[in-house]
Structure 1
């Protein structure tokens, strides 16, 4: 059965959802050690969080790209995640969804978060037909993410390297067993209304 085109899939619990980011070691290692982002983490810049582990691997090259050598699993509150979704604007203008391009630009300018849908990836990091959520946080959303929503930060760089090694060796079954268990996220109705295109859990 085909995956829905726009569905949030994530590792989540009753109270948290896990997202992924990759940083240079000077930021990533202290963040994982202390369980919070260090002061040098710039709270006034846009930051992108990804619920998909494999999309993060595509973005950071399994932790091999310069400046993205430390891969982090950031567990945040579901309340925070849903707040960001409810206050988000799509990164692109869509006819029929926005009254006109100017209205979209106004919404984009005042929204503290951005929703972008990119092709999900398989173990070879090839694109799949369905999409993966990227959530951009800026201003109030970025500050809340760093200082209020974060529950834990774990360094998963070794996990990324281990899965990649299995893929290189052609042992996809072993690689797949190590992947985080990402399931459809139960998006509340209010959030689905705020971010058109997201389908409900199930």
Structure 2
């Protein structure tokens, strides 16, 4: 795997406990996001290094840069149809473009616009932005918020091929680490090394509520 790993408990010491944070593994060129699929879709993607075959370009696909939040959603790869866990290395510029084009998936007065304006933006945008409670390895809800991004239209087509750097099948790694969770042995739990992501664009950070 081309992922930097670090002990979960060591990372806890530096992670923010609350607030909105894009927790991710990234550098100046790329960021890793996670998805889970049935084996047929996942194996096609890894073999061909793009999404095709049974992967649908017509429905919205959601990407998650936070490993543990993905593990909460897919039950550590145990949920039906989510057995193949993928680590997807994508261009950081593309990820930033998704967020710049995103519209929140639900209306909130804090957005600073009317519901009608928000509805108009939703109709025009092909990217959805959603913040949900983050979770610990056992699935317990945290105060910190985790981000997920929904893509469709031109964005899903770009994501499926042009924005990709590498697609890795990390299903075996997930299964191995899940055993430490089942045994309540978090001292030995290894997960991708993650830290909060901030952008140079102050307006984008403000839109995302990150700081």
- For the criterion TM > 0.5, the same-fold answer is yes
RMSD: 1.4
Distance 2:53 2:180 in 1: 36
Return the TM-score normalized by structure 1: 0.92
What's 1:42 paired with?
A: 56
* Cα distance, 1:27 vs structure 2: 0.3
What's 2:205 paired with?
A: 192
| 1:105 counterpart = 2:109 | no
| 1:164 counterpart = 2:202 | no
2:24–2:194 contact (8 Å) kept in structure 1: yes
* Cα distance, 1:96 vs structure 2: 3.9
What's 2:166 paired with?
A: 152
* Cα distance, 1:18 vs structure 2: 0.3
What's 2:79 paired with?
A: 65
1:98–1:104 contact (8 Å) kept in structure 2: no
* Cα distance, 1:4 vs structure 2: 4.6
Runs of 4+ in 1 over 4 A off after TM superposition: none
3-state SS of paired residue (2:86):
strand
User: Does the C-alpha gap of structure 1 residues 182 and 96 become closer, same or farther in structure 2, counting only changes over 3 Å?
Assistant: closer
Q: Which runs of 5+ in 1 are unaligned?
A: none
| 1:6 counterpart = 2:59 | no
1:113–1:136 contact (8 Å) kept in structure 2: yes
Which of the residues 118, 142, 150 maps onto 1:128? Answer: 142
What's 1:142 paired with?
A: 156
Distance 1:15 1:157 in 2: 25
1:71–1:156 contact (8 Å) kept in structure 2: yes
Return the TM-score normalized by structure 2: 0.88
Distance 2:49 2:32 in 1: 14
Distance 1:46 1:97 in 2: 23
